[in-house]
């Protein structure tokens, strides 16, 4: 008698019952097997034939920086780094989903 293969939801439910360290151990063992079983992803020919710098500049509408101080963002000079960090923490608490970078 054969049993049905477990669903992804069942596996995830069981995985979540493990400690975080054990979850990482499972992932570390399964990931290489998954990578070996995946078919290779062919690179697009376009990947190797990118645009020129001039074309990218025109497409993106970027301009050279004339005023270097504009890059500094306008943070008041009389405020300390600690005040800046406190402000960032406050902004993140006020808008938790909007401050994601990268």
Residue 31 lies in a domain: yes
Q: What pLDDT was estimated at residue 97?
A: 66
**Tally of structural domains, the chain:** 1
- Point out the residues of the chain with pLDDT beneath 50: 102
Q: What is the pLDDT of residue 18?
A: 92
Looking at residue 44, its pLDDT comes to 76
71 in a structural domain: no
The answer to whether residue 74 sits within a structural domain is no
Cβ atoms within 10 Å of 79's Cβ, excluding its own = 11
In a domain, 50, yes or no: no
Q: Is residue 24 part of a domain?
A: yes
Taking the alpha carbons of 87, 91, 96, 100 in that order, is the dihedral positive or negative? negative
Q: Which domain holds residue 21?
A: 8-37
Q: What is the pLDDT of residue 102?
A: 44
């Amino acid at each position: 008698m054969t049993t049905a293969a477990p669903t992804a939801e069942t596996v995830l439910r069981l995985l979540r019952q493990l400690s975080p360290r054990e979850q990482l151990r499972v992932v570390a063992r399964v990931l290489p097997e998954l990578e070996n079983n995946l078919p290779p992803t062919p690179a697009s020919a376009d990947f190797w034939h990118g645009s020129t710098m001039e074309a990218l500049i025109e497409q993106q509408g970027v301009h050279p920086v004339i005023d270097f101080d504009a890059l500094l963002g306008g943070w008041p000079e009389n405020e300390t780094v600690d005040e800046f960090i406190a402000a960032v923490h406050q902004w993140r608490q006020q808008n938790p989903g909007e401050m994601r970078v990268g």
